[in-house]
Structure 1
Amino acid sequence: MAISPRLDIRQTQSLVMTPQLQQAIKLLQFSSFELTAFIDQEMERNPLLEREDVDRPLEATEPRLDAADKPVLDSAPPETPLLDGMTAASASEGLDVDYDNTFNNDSAADSDGAEAFGQWGSRNGGSHGFDDPDTGLEQTLAGEISLRDHLVAQLNVDVADPAERIIGLHLIEMLDEAGYLVGDLDELAEKLGCPPGRIEKVLKRVQGFDPAGVFARTLRECLGLQLAERDRLDPAMQALLDNLDLLARRDLAGLMRVCGVDAEDMAEMIGEIKALDPKPALRFDHIVAQPIIPDVLMRRAQDGSWLVELNSDALPRVLVNTRYYAKVAGAAKSKDDKTYISEHYQSANWLVKSLHQRATTILKVATELVRQQDAFFRLGVQHLRPLVLRDIATAISMHESTVSRVTSNKYIATPRGIYELKYFFTQSINSADGGDAHSAEAVRHRIKAMIEAEGRDILSDDQIVVALKADGIDIARRTVAKYREAMGIASSVQRRREKALGL
């Protein structure tokens, strides 16, 4: 057979994911913050995209859920005409985050401790008097003192040597948010050009500052500083601090043997340890936790059904400015300019449609979740039913992977609190009497409630199994132990020992 080049025509079928389809899939699994960052990048790249600031009602209608009815969604067109020839779609909006100003170590070293003396003036070198017309009443109000200001004030009073004040300022800048000293002291000594012994001397001095336990390098040192401040760091307590791993394992017998004390003294020592603050600096620098913005809202209607809707605050509109597109397209002369404008216009339209499809899909999945978990919202976590992705996917005629992407990092605000959509998917545990299966989350909640309600008689895992089987839950002892350990609950032996010690 001769080998020669030739042309063949073949017909094949293959699944090809276009860039637009990949973008739509990626948008589904984005959280609201990730989507905000993505939209900001697209708006910087595409001049035809704009964000509408005016609040407008959501285009998708509000579904009503009854116990026996399936949700009905009215599909909105992907592009809705607005003013000035624009089109809109639902998107996600982020939050503004305020960042605290940080102190520059180099500027502290160059100022020779000037800032440590608390000079009257602003950071940029200006000063303000009481007769300054720019000084308003709000500038004279007292605010929350920070940890740094609190420590610098003590440094001004307790340390007179300017060189040691500079070292103290650097040590203050090496504190983390909990008040622990992070970083290498040898590197600090090399940076400042002083012997390491002088760094250690200043460290010992600032470790006596308020709050007690600040400038510690380990948890043991932090607790030791607080006990020393209370004059309670005796040899037995020091032995307890040196063996905190035994305390973490609840090996009370080993602790009593190491510390040389009886059960009564050990219970008193552990009580003193529990009264200490392992993170002494958190009382000063209050870092406000970023709240979760729910993607979906639900509330009860007057007839007792559930109303589910998208959160309009988390879904601003992204617009395609068709008027601007017509203007620049008409002014384009070269082929490259026309291609550039056409590609960006298509990209903007596809993004608008993808965002609308994302919002509709989230609403559809959340609506079905609320319908299937109706007993949970009405009666509580003990009535949470077992559910898997396949159940929702089958009900709304979608693929399981789509449901998985939609429920990742999405939250719903309910009358019982804010939950991640993934929370409602739990494994099933068989019923002992052949009835409906039970949710694993509901069983865990019941186990926790039984242990919290136990009095002098401590329940073993076997006793919990018997009690659950009496309630119609078929569960193995090892499953009870696994759930108990996952919730951080000690074994019956350890709980009995702690109750005997009064812990």
Structure 2
Amino acid sequence: MAVGPRLSIGQHPGLALTPGMRQSLRILAMPPVELALEITREAESNPFLTVTPPARGGLSAFDIALETMPARPSLGEGLRRQLGEMSLPPGVRAVADYLTGALRDDGYLDATEAELVSETGQPRAVVAEAIAALQRCEPAGVGARSLPECLALQLTDRGISPGLAAEAVAHLDLFAQDDWAELGKVLHLGPGEVSALDAALRGLSPHPVDPGGPESSPLVPDLVVETAPGGGMSVRLAEGVMPAISLDEALLAQVPDPDDPFVVSARSRAEALIRAVSHRGETLLRIGLRLVADQHLFFSCGPDHLAPLSRRVLAEELSLHPSTLGRAVAGKVLLTGGALYPLSMFFPSGLPMGHGGTVSSHAVKIAIRRMVEHEPAAQPLSDAVIRERLVADGIDITRRCVAKYRESMRIPSSFERRRRAARHRGQAMEAGARD
């Protein structure tokens, strides 16, 4: 069911993205610490922006931001800095900056070129050039819209021609089958060149950005979900996290010339930032309320009950554009039951169940981890055995998918787990002999 007005942009094909729209979407994409830094920077140069740090014990996002100014920039900040060093037409730069806020946490761009044309109101050529500019940034593969495109961008970054890179990723099935003869024919390469290309492919990452890598800033929650006094769950914006900002009306009243260009510009910037921050909070709260409704079993029964949920479905329920939802979710964290959960975690893919339902990939990963935690140390479970047990529970999954989920959780193979267990037994026996 749609809730509230549609919060998307550029619905009319001739409507260009206004500076206010760009700022609102950029603010929406910022995690708390980055937003606190943005507020700090604006307040330093804008006398009409009043900033009141949150009153609470411990460090707030504002406190953390003030203390971590030299910290490693976020993905969005780093990309915007790189784009700023490129010689781009103003329209292309505006769209490219806009795209930095549309990326998933792992660096992929979910929106299609056609969607971005409709969303920004810019010609297809401008959008294509903006995507190309984003994809020239580091890390290699950022802005890719599919796994093959991500791998092709990484190959190009390693010095392989774009044409050959595209051809190579179009035949990943032949590489997986080690079909060197056929690869040599379709790619017009000799055996040594095919071997070198295979080695390059095996060294690539399936994600432009490691979703499990170190955070660029401390995790600070935007939303809090807790049990309501009368039962059920309540959702609120985290208190004491962000500073309160307002327009200094008293100072404006003392200005001799309200039409002075500096005064007009500073007031406009302050008002735009206040509106953007307010819109960000309202959008996150709407998303939180919807997540509690759609993922109620997770919040009432625990992580095992996380249900498959499509971002596109949730965007439709909230009357948001999918890319707007993507900006709101990226880098945001929810606090519940004393634990922090990235909002992106609430959109797991689903696997079919034997009885016709679906189970989330997150729940399957938990099941795999528990099997490994309780396996006999001397006889670790192979991926094939794990698959058999999951299938017996009604989960339709392949052995390759089991291996992919295991690797994503950084669980070694059964061979490596057996080797480590043997080494530990040997070390224990040596220690016992010494005693």
Aligned to 1:320: 247
- With over 3 angstroms needed to count, the CA separation of the structure-2 counterparts of 1:354 and 1:387, relative to structure 1, is same
Counterpart selection for 1:401 from 307, 323, 341: 323
Whether 2:14 is the aligned partner of 1:93: answer: no
Aligned to 2:138: none
Whether 2:35 is the aligned partner of 1:35: answer: yes
Aligned to 1:50: 50
Unmatched tracts of structure 2, length 5 or more: 1-11, 70-215, 427-435
Residue pair 1:93, 1:313 contacting (<8 A) in 2 also? no
What secondary structure, in the 3-state scheme, does the structure 2 residue paired with 1:412 have? strand
Aligned to 1:472: 394
- With over 3 angstroms needed to count, the CA separation of the structure-2 counterparts of 1:13 and 1:366, relative to structure 1, is closer
- With over 3 angstroms needed to count, the CA separation of the structure-2 counterparts of 1:94 and 1:401, relative to structure 1, is farther
- With over 3 angstroms needed to count, the CA separation of the structure-2 counterparts of 1:41 and 1:498, relative to structure 1, is closer
- With over 3 angstroms needed to count, the CA separation of the structure-2 counterparts of 1:342 and 1:305, relative to structure 1, is same
Residue pair 1:32, 1:94 contacting (<8 A) in 2 also? no
Counterpart selection for 2:359 from 438, 446, 451: 438
Q: Map 1:245-284; keep pairs closer than 5 Å.
A: none
Residue pair 2:33, 2:220 contacting (<8 A) in 1 also? no
Moved beyond 4 Å, runs of 4+:
53-56
**Offset at 1:474?**
0.4
**Offset at 1:55?**
4.7
Residue pair 1:48, 1:321 contacting (<8 A) in 2 also? yes
CA-to-aligned-CA distance 1:91-146 (integer Å, 9 cap, x gap): 963425389xxxxxxxxxxxxxxxxxxxxxxxxxxxxxxxxxxxxxxxxxxxxxxx
> Which has the higher mean CA deviation after the structures are superposed, 338-347 or 317-326?
338-347
CA distance in 2, matches of 1:430, 1:55: 48
What secondary structure, in the 3-state scheme, does the structure 1 residue paired with 2:62 have? coil
Whether 2:236 is the aligned partner of 1:292: answer: no
CA distance in 1, matches of 2:67, 2:13: 49
CA distance in 2, matches of 1:448, 1:54: 40
Amino acid at match of 1:452: E
CA distance in 1, matches of 2:319, 2:273: 24
Residue pair 1:389, 1:403 contacting (<8 A) in 2 also? yes
CA-to-aligned-CA distance 1:365-386 (integer Å, 9 cap, x gap): 1221122111112222221111
Amino acid at match of 2:29: Q
What secondary structure, in the 3-state scheme, does the structure 1 residue paired with 2:226 have? strand
Whether 2:231 is the aligned partner of 1:304: answer: yes
CA distance in 2, matches of 1:94, 1:53: 8
Aligned to 1:136: none
Q: Map 1:158-169; keep pairs closer than 5 Å.
A: none
Q: Map 1:29-428; keep pairs closer than 5 Å.
A: 29-53=29-53, 55=55, 93-95=62-64, 96-97=66-67, 292-328=219-255, 331-332=256-257, 338-415=260-337, 417-428=339-350
What secondary structure, in the 3-state scheme, does the structure 2 residue paired with 1:361 have? helix
- With over 3 angstroms needed to count, the CA separation of the structure-2 counterparts of 1:298 and 1:351, relative to structure 1, is same
Structure with more helix by fraction: 2
Q: Which has the larger radius of gyration?
A: 1
Amino acid at match of 1:440: S
**Offset at 1:404?**
0.7
CA distance in 1, matches of 2:291, 2:68: 35
Aligned to 1:250: none
- With over 3 angstroms needed to count, the CA separation of the structure-2 counterparts of 1:348 and 1:491, relative to structure 1, is closer
Residue pair 1:431, 1:437 contacting (<8 A) in 2 also? yes
**Offset at 1:338?**
2.2
Residue pair 2:311, 2:322 contacting (<8 A) in 1 also? yes
What secondary structure, in the 3-state scheme, does the structure 1 residue paired with 2:229 have? coil
Whether 2:431 is the aligned partner of 1:462: answer: no
**Corresponding residue pairs, total:** 264
CA distance in 2, matches of 1:471, 1:453: 17
CA-to-aligned-CA distance 1:343-386 (integer Å, 9 cap, x gap): 32222222211111111111111221122111112222221111
CA distance in 1, matches of 2:52, 2:411: 50
CA distance in 1, matches of 2:331, 2:388: 38
CA-to-aligned-CA distance 1:152-207 (integer Å, 9 cap, x gap): xxxxxxxxxxxxxxxxxxxxxxxxxxxxxxxxxxxxxxxxxxxxxxxxxxxxxxxx
Residue pair 2:36, 2:243 contacting (<8 A) in 1 also? no
CA distance in 2, matches of 1:350, 1:414: 32
CA-to-aligned-CA distance 1:460-501 (integer Å, 9 cap, x gap): 222211111111100001111122222232333333444445
What secondary structure, in the 3-state scheme, does the structure 1 residue paired with 2:254 have? helix
- With over 3 angstroms needed to count, the CA separation of the structure-2 counterparts of 1:449 and 1:20, relative to structure 1, is same
Residue pair 2:308, 2:348 contacting (<8 A) in 1 also? yes
What secondary structure, in the 3-state scheme, does the structure 1 residue paired with 2:334 have? strand
What secondary structure, in the 3-state scheme, does the structure 1 residue paired with 2:220 have? coil
CA distance in 2, matches of 1:317, 1:489: 44
**Offset at 1:292?**
2.7
Unmatched tracts of structure 1, length 5 or more: 1-11, 57-90, 100-288
Aligned to 2:16: 16
Amino acid at match of 1:447: I
Give the % identical residues.
33
TM-score scaled by structure 1? 0.49
CA distance in 2, matches of 1:485, 1:379: 27
Aligned to 1:451: 372
Give the alignment's Cα RMSD to 1 decimal: 2.7
CA distance in 2, matches of 1:16, 1:98: 36
Residue pair 1:28, 1:405 contacting (<8 A) in 2 also? yes
